[in-house]
A and B are shown apart, each in its own frame.
Chain A
Amino acid sequence: MAASVSDACKQSVKRAPLNTTSFQKKTRNKLLSIPGTRLSVQNGQLLVSTGVTSLDYLLGGGLAVGTVLLIEEDRYDSYSRMILKYFLAEGVVCQHQLFLAAAQDHPNDIFQELPDPILDDVVMHKPADPPRLSCDPQDSFDAMKIAWRYQNLPKVQSVLASSSRFGHYYDVSKTMEPEMRQAAKCHHFYHSEHPSQPSATHSPVLEPYAALLKSIEEVISREGFSVAAPMTQSRNILRIGLHSLGSPLWGDDLCFQDKPKHSHALTTFLYGLRALLRSSLAVAVVTVPSHLIQNSSLMGSITRLCDNAIALESFKGSERETSPLYKDYHGLLHVRQVPQLNCLTSQLPDHKDLAFKLKRKQFSIERLHLPPDLSETVSRVSRGELAGAAAGGSACGSANKHLDF
């Protein structure tokens, strides 16, 4: 594993120095130590965490810098929005910069809903909480009865920067502290604030997305995320979250027309985004309401323009919610595409049947397996039968089970 990284380093040293994309393997002597990133052990790519550790594992260690992750939304956009919030929260914790674009809610509303990270080893500046001194012997005796000699040690451990860990856990029942959120630099783009104006120079990217692409490009060049920018300033990663692209709220007619007027608006934008990201230290997560898009080949071309693609299918509102097969999970997760990053092979997942569950402190993605059948009456119901029965109506399924001979 380590050999491949050093091999990659030697290879990139031998190559001509003019590398202007962010996809280069980082050589050892100019290793950029950007907080919150690490090198992949498989192919030496620079990775960032998505905020969900099981998703990181699925993607081969993390999201490679310069790539786009496409999430096909579930029916009510609950879990895809959750993953987007995890992604942004991870950026706050790792001190990356954030860019969020949305058409439905104002990005500030989404920022206020970010989950609270579970950090036990970070010095948080809490002015309201004065450090408790052990000047009061009674107190100290009450505090520690056995290890009382350790009472005098400082309460907070030595500074372990939050970014030294890769991937954090979040508590979704609480929202992030405002101070922590404001410490991170956030840019946002709210679609209603940018009314479509006929620009002087006609951009081929069609109107709903032209302003968005321009705004992203401005942020990248202004804040110095471009790989071609001078190396003197300290580098950081820009995390771009694009919520619900392709939905009618963006002004695109993909979702309600069989033959949309400008079917290539979104795909041209995604091409421009890919071009921007390949030459910047940025990562993008895009969610698309694929269940609304009528044209299946269009979804295929959107998927091919992104690097990683996953689809979420939640059980909410469907008969599967009450099915005993799926009672441990909230939905299914399909891996649509894995990227090829600077090599011929890609990190194919081991299994394709995955299910996810949103717990309070973890979004876990596991392999779906049948629970053991421990009921008294042996119900020989296969998975396909159960799904078929569920579609037809649960009444016949239960009636069959009560047949007694």
Chain B
Amino acid sequence: MFAELNSILNVSPEDFSRGEFVLLSDRQSDASFLIHHFLGFYLRAGCQVCFVALAQSLSHYTAVSQRLGVSLSQAKEKGQLVFLEGLNESLSILNPHDARKGSEAMDFLRNPSAGLQSLVQFVSSSFSHARSAVEGANDGHGPPVLLVDDVSLLLSLGATVDAVLDFSHYCRAAVCSRLKGNVVMLLRCDGENDVESDDDSERLLRGLTHQCSLALHVRSLPTGYCRDIHGQVEVCDRRRQADSQQKKKTFQYKVHDRGASFFAPGTSSAVL
């Protein structure tokens, strides 16, 4: 987790609001460093985390989290983390003659146009399973958190925009409303900021932005490519606002080996 981002969002592992739907989106840049931040943040806060990782392998996340000071393997052993490795699980379905039988979570791949029910089942079952396991032990497990790395990959695998919007709605209903937990989703778009474009990923972005309570939009620098400033983040905060007005703040960021630094636009060390 990144300390500067915590101060920007006014949260800390001991004190954060529940029932939030956080949307991370990027356009022509890579917002996956934010997923690692939230993963580390919620694991440190002691939450029950379900991570649907479709983009990368388990060892990638383990290696990165190790550098950030969080051990995923320990969390898995303790039962704090339920990890769905999409790449591995999908192999048994994409190669039907394979003898291995993966989990049923990726069964939607067999008929993507039918919807993402199998994934929703997996999410709700992982939380209920964990709750029943924890009920016995007097564990101080925090609220449940669902992290989805790369909702746009669901579009690439054949799901329709409506199916993905339904999926996010069901996850919100199950996790945010019923279990008072948080949901964090990453959505990757591309192309220019074409508001009137009817692209699948643009429609999905608009739909999810409407549903979310906190949005972090990562963009590349509008003035061009720079090695020292990797892009800018626009934080749209709709939490705790009585009149649902959003507060927008913009920061520029640079990703290091062990974290990311955020600074006000124009105050990068490369410039000053």
A residues lining the B interface (CB < 8 Å): 11, 15-16, 19-21, 23-25, 199, 201-205, 213-214, 217, 264, 267-268, 271-272, 274-276, 278-279, 296-297, 300-301, 303-305, 340-346, 348, 350, 352
Contact = CB atoms under 8 A, between A and B. Distances in A.
A304 B33 contact: no
A11 B94 contact: no
A269 to B, nearest CB: 8
Interface string B150-181: 00110111100000000000000000000000
B59 A23 contact: yes
A204 B200 CA distance: 21
B188 A278 contact: no
Given A11-B66, A204-B111, A204-B112, A268 B257 contact: no
Contacts of B67: 343-344
A24 B59 contact: yes
A19 B200 CA distance: 36
A342 B95 contact: no
A275 B53 CA distance: 12
B90 A271 contact: yes
B30 A340 contact: yes
A11 to B, nearest CB: 6
A202 B94 CA distance: 9
A305 B156 contact: yes
Contacts of A268: 94, 109, 156-158
Contact of A276 (B32, B66, B91): B91
30 contacts: A16-B73, A20-B88, A23-B59, A23-B60, A199-B96, A204-B158, A264-B112, A264-B155, A267-B157, A268-B109, A268-B158, A271-B87, A271-B94, A275-B90, A275-B94, A279-B57, A296-B190, A297-B189, A297-B190, A297-B200, A297-B201, A301-B152, A301-B155, A301-B190, A304-B188, A340-B30, A341-B60, A343-B67, A344-B260, A346-B30
Nearest to A16: B73
Nearest to A267: B156
**Do most interface residues of chain B lie in helix, strand or loop, or is the interface mixed?**
helix
A297 B225 CA distance: 21
Contacts of B111: 204
Nearest to B93: A204
A348 B97 CA distance: 40
A96 B109 CA distance: 33
B110 A345 contact: no
Contacts of A343: 63-64, 67, 257
A214 B59 contact: no
- Contact-residue size bin, chain B (C-beta under 8 Å from the other chain): 35 or more
Contact of A203 (B73, B96, B152, B188): B96
A217 B256 contact: no
Nearest to A335: B225
A214 B95 CA distance: 6
B78 interface: no
Contacts of A352: 225
A350 B156 contact: no
B57 A23 contact: yes
A68 to B, nearest CB: 12
B255 interface: yes
B156 A271 contact: yes
A261 B104 CA distance: 27
Contacts of B36: 344
A35 to B, nearest CB: 24
Contacts of B201: 297, 301
Given A203-B95, A264-B157, A268-B94, A348 B227 contact: yes
B62 interface: yes
A306 to B, nearest CB: 12
B136 interface: no
A202 B225 contact: no
A204 B59 contact: no
Contact of A264 (B30, B90, B158, B255): B158
A18 to B, nearest CB: 9
B87 A278 contact: yes
A204 B95 contact: no
A300 B201 CA distance: 11
A296 B260 CA distance: 30
B253 to A, nearest CB: 11
A19 to B, nearest CB: 6
B221 interface: no
B222 interface: no
A118 to B, nearest CB: 34
A21 B87 CA distance: 11
Interface core residue of A213, A343, A344 (most chain B CB under 10 Å): A344
B58 interface: yes
B4 interface: no
Contacts of B110: 202, 204
A271 B109 CA distance: 11
B208 to A, nearest CB: 16
A278 B95 contact: no
Interface in B118-170: 152-153, 155-158
Interface string B65-99: 01110000100000000000001101101111110
Contact of B97 (A201, A276, A344): A201
Interface string B197-208: 001110000000
B73 A21 contact: no
B108 to A, nearest CB: 9
Given A264-B112, A297-B200, 5 more contacts: A15-B62, A23-B57, A271-B94, A278-B57, A297-B199
Contacts of A214: 95, 97
Contact of A345 (B98, B152, B156, B256): B256
Nearest to A8: B63
Closest 3 CB pairs of A and B: A300-B190, A201-B96, A342-B63
